[in-house]
Amino acid sequence: MNKRICIISTGGTIEKTYDELEGVLHNRVAVLDVMLASLTLAHLEIVRVPLMNKDSLDMSDGDHTLIARTAGAMAEAHDGVIVVHGTDRLTTTGDRMVALLGMPRVPIVLTGAMRPFELRKSDAMQNLTSALMAVQLLEAGVWVVMHAAALRFPGVVKDVAKGTFVRVPPA
């Protein structure tokens, strides 16, 4: 039996592409579709929800709430939910999910990339495939899955010096 996994895309570094005319990276193309098309996912039914395409630094308080509520709604109808998100404000959304949703029925996994998929040395594909596996194996809750680690919210922060996410002990 196939598992139904919902993937909500919100933009972030993972989906940035290089604009040669401006010489900058933008969120303008659905890179996630290209990544998914290159994978063998015969046992999964993927439902894509392109919610927004923003750098997480540009997200408003309302955007974090919209992502959390959308993930909660999708968790009611799917076996797991993955949210592809920018890493700068990923923890804001994860914490918002915990506050608004409590304990979801299925795992909700946030993931992203520190470097765009389009670059030669990127963590994008590793993080996406890890999230696809983790959402099938983790218990219900809100998680970040990146760099071969799964960390449960709350208590997750981005460690800029290490270039990854870590858990902080409760105060």
Question: Is 2 inside any structural domain?
Answer: no
Along the 171 residues of the chain, how does pLDDT read in single tens digits?
A: 799 999 999 987 666 555 556 655 555 556 788 888 899 998 999 999 999 988 888 999 999 999 999 999 999 999 999 999 989 999 999 999 999 999 999 999 999 988 766 667 888 889 999 999 999 999 999 999 999 999 999 999 999 999 899 999 776
What pLDDT does 61 receive? 96
Question: Is 88 inside any structural domain?
Answer: yes
What pLDDT does 1 receive? 72
41: which DSSP letter?
-
Question: Is 3 inside any structural domain?
Answer: no
Domain that holds residue 150: 8-167
| Number of domains into which the chain is organized | 1
What pLDDT does 102 receive? 92
Question: Is 103 inside any structural domain?
Answer: yes
Going from the C-alpha of 126 to that of each of 93, 106, 167, the distances in angstroms are 21, 22, 20
What pLDDT does 119 receive? 61
The CB-side HSE value for 26 (13 A sphere, CA atoms) comes to 9
Return the CATH number at 136: 3.40.50.1170
Alpha helices in 102-144 (DSSP H): 124-137
160: which DSSP letter?
T
